[in-house]
Amino acid sequence: MRIGIGNDHAAIELKYEILDYLIEKGIEVVDYGIGEDEKIDYPLISETVSNAVVSKEVDYGIVICGTGVGVSISANKIKGIRACVCSEPYSAKLSKEHNDTNVLCFGSRVVGSELAKMIVDAWINAEFLGERHLRRVELIKKLEK
Ligand code: RB5
């Protein structure tokens, strides 16, 4: 699994913590985000990570801002992206199982790093369940047209 990660200036520290955490797990990570002393408007980083997912440069994306709201709204504007903002692991798990999310968002001002790791674990370990959920995801895709 190859994951693209991105962040705005509100989430630099948390981005690095999650990046290291994923690498420790043996997951390949591409860092599209910014580092110390840099600034970026959240729609731009969301766009970069989302496009990397759509073009299959990476399998999934994780985008972090202050609340997770701005990056999730932005990511969902990109055709082919199903992003969700999660503040707990249950929604993260079900977002993959039921909604086939391909971008996970959370907020550095909302969740601490340990909770963020639990959210990430729940999401990357979950799989889309298909069946009735496939029909619903197909209906979501129709909304993009
Ligand atoms: C940046 O201050 C903040 O607005 C951004 O990180 C995010 O929370 C937006 O949704």
Mutation to probe ligand 1, out of 71, 87, 109 (largest number of atoms < 8 A from CB): 71
CA 86 to centroid of ligand 1, rounded, Å: 15
What tens digit of pLDDT does each residue of 24-66 get?
999 999 999 999 999 999 999 999 999 999 999 999 999 999 9
- Atom 5 of ligand 1: nearest residue by CA position: 66
CB 2 within 8 A of CB 44: no
What's the rounded Cα separation, in Å, for the pair 10 and 58?
24
Ligand 1 atom closest to Cα of 107? 8
What tens digit of pLDDT does each residue of 34-45 get?
999 999 999 999
Query: What DSSP assignment string belongs to 74-141?
Result: HHTTSTT--EEE-SSHHHHHHHHHHH---EEEEETTTS-HHHHHHHHHHHHH-----THHHHHHHHHH
- Tell me which H or E stretch contains 34: none
**pTM, rounded to two decimals:** 0.98
CA 65 to centroid of ligand 1, rounded, Å: 5
CA 138 to centroid of ligand 1, rounded, Å: 31
Ligand 1 atom closest to Cα of 65? 6
User: 114 pairs with which residues across the strands?
Assistant: none
Q: Angle 91-95-99 (CA atoms, 0-180°, nearest 5)?
A: 150
Q: Within 10 Å of residue 37's Cβ, how many Cβ atoms?
A: 7
What tens digit of pLDDT does each residue of 101-126 get?
999 999 999 999 999 999 999 999 99
Active site residues: 65, 98
Q: What percent of the chain has pLDDT over 90?
A: 99
**Model pLDDT, residue 138:** 98
β 2-7/83-85 pair status: unpaired
CA 70 to centroid of ligand 1, rounded, Å: 6
Whether 145 shows a pLDDT value over 90: the answer reads no
